[in-house]
Amino acid sequence: MNLKNKWFKYSLFFAILTICISCDQQTKQMAKEQLAYSRPIEYLDGTFKLMYAENTGAFLGLGTSLSPNLKYLFLIFIPTFVLFLFTITYFKASKSIGQFIGMSLIVGGGIGNMIDRIAYGSVVDFMNIDIGGIRTGIFNFADLAVFCGLLLLLFTIYKGKEAF
């Protein structure tokens, strides 16, 4: 796949964004409808749980107690600006398809959570996993896209041209 083809690059970027944002918004809507007023649903002996939570802060609830003006600054304005700069910079600098897809996943997940922050003032989280006795915080599809994008980005940077 050739990242030098501008149309391919734009098409891939917008396809990944569309898939990330659509899946994120649909799963959050399903969580609101199915989990908001129910007990957690457990799978695989509690390894994977579905439970409803609204996060008014950032990652793992950081910033929840900030004043409304500071919340706007730190949870909406600055992340939107950074996401915009990250997209523009990395769009031009991507060296491999793996890096480009990783960056696109990060941006797609970031936009998915930003939509919720702007529209509702909080982000819906609903998944929780126990990994070897360590339980994750509650997260959503957008968080998963950001995490997978970051792993892919780091892997391709570490492996260099051999990666993808």
User: Which residues have a catalytic role annotated?
Assistant: 125, 143
Residue at 121 is within a domain: yes
- Residue 75 pLDDT greater than 80, yes or no: no
pLDDT the model gives residue 1: 60
Residue 68 lies in a domain: yes
Q: Cα separations (Å) of 92 from 55, 66, 86, 107, 121?
A: 33, 35, 10, 14, 32
Tell whether 129 is covered by a domain: yes
Number of domains into which the chain is organized: 1
Instruction: Classify residue 144: in a domain, yes or no.
Output: yes
Residue 94 domain flag: yes
Structure confidence by residue, pLDDT tens digits, 97-134: 888 899 899 999 999 998 998 899 889 999 999 988 89
Instruction: Examine residue 2 and state whether it is found in any structural domain, yes or no.
Output: no
Write down the pTM of the prediction: 0.83
Q: Is residue 76 part of a domain?
A: yes
Residue 96 lies in a domain: yes
The boundaries of the domain holding residue 154 are 8-162
